[in-house]
Amino acid sequence: MTYKLLFLDIDGTILKPDHTYSDKTKQAISTVKKQGLEIFLATGRPLHEISELAEDLDIHSFIAYNGAFAIHQGKTIVNEPIPEQNMKQFIDIASKNDHELIMYTREKNYFTNLDRPFISQFIDTFDLKANAVFTPEITDKTLGATVLNVPPEQVHLYEIESNLRLSPVHVNGAENSYDILRKNVNKGYSVEQILELLDIQREQAIAFGDGMNDKEMLGTVGESFAMGNSHEDLFQYAKHKTASVADDGISTGLKQLGLL
């Protein structure tokens, strides 16, 4: 099989909990690039928070905001903000239940509150830089959202439409935090748009992930890998299980395919 695309989640897949990644991972990415594979970073993070990593890895194509925005070599492929009415409802639900929201636009991360300890912990956990307090005028510009301080029994409060689901943030330090996802706009949706644009068969695409926000992406490509440190419910959606991020799972998986 001639593989042409490689989609890589960031947190828990490329990056270890201390925000670093191994030389072995960097070398594996460089090696397959030289073989002609195009690499996409495919993350729940906003685009403005991954530029440094992208530059260091020499990657120029992205799926961000859990699939609501995608760029191929500078050209926007997907741009699907969360409907403004939904965002207003989410803000109201959070306010009534002592939750907090983070809303990600193209420019910043907007928080309903910046003063609570679990907010500070979340910012530190993801090393977020472009942070600001929410203002109503950005409600229609929100590409992604995370809700914090949510007990598991209250997750359903945000699933106000059949198209919505909450995905637990699978990172230590982000307990009781959930990404708000749309079933028709996610990483898998963006992968589909990219495959169609580039006229590439799904069998020629590879993906690695570790969280439940990766399940649609793993189901859309021909060769899918769940990291050894993945959320326990993710393995059923992946074709392969690889080593953990701490043990260079990307390199291990690419070797399994004969690419290294």
* Count of domains forming the chain: 2
Domain end residue (candidates: 163, 182, 201): 182
Q: How many C-beta atoms surround the C-beta of residue 204 within 10 A?
A: 17
Question: Which residues sit opposite 251 in a β-bridge?
Answer: none
Structure tokens, 216: 């649609």
Q: Is the torsion defined by CA of 236, 242, 248, 250 positive or negative? A: negative
Domain end residue (candidates: 160, 182, 204): 182
Give the closest residue to 65 by CA, choosing from 107, 15, 98.
107
Those residues whose C-beta lies under 8 Å from the C-beta of residue 255, and which sit 6 or more positions away, are: none
Could you list the residue range(s) of the whole structural domain that residue 73 is in? 5-80+185-256
Taking the chain (260 residues) in consecutive chunks of 10 residues, what is each chunk's mean pLDDT? 95 93 96 96 96 96 98 96 97 97 97 95 94 96 97 96 94 92 96 97 98 97 97 97 97 96
Q: What is the pLDDT at residue 173?
A: 85
Q: Are 197 and 162 in a shared domain?
A: no
Query: What is the identity of the amino acid at 220?
Result: T
- Write the DSSP symbol of residue 44: S
Report the C-alpha gap between 218 and 213 in whole angstroms: 10
Q: What is the CATH number of the domain that holds 244?
A: 3.40.50.1000
Domain end residue (candidates: 137, 156, 182): 182
Q: How many C-beta atoms surround the C-beta of residue 213 within 10 A?
A: 28
Q: What is the CATH number of the domain that holds 126?
A: 3.30.1240.10
Q: Are 29 and 111 in a shared domain?
A: no
Q: What is the pLDDT at residue 1?
A: 79
Q: Are 76 and 189 in a shared domain?
A: yes
Q: What is the pLDDT at residue 238?
A: 98
Tell me phi and psi for residue 92, to 5 degrees.
-65, -45
* Matching residue, tokens 């990219």: 194
Q: Are 170 and 198 in a shared domain?
A: no
Q: What is the pLDDT at residue 172?
A: 86
Q: Are 99 and 149 in a shared domain?
A: yes
Q: Are 191 and 203 in a shared domain?
A: yes
Q: Are 44 and 92 in a shared domain?
A: no
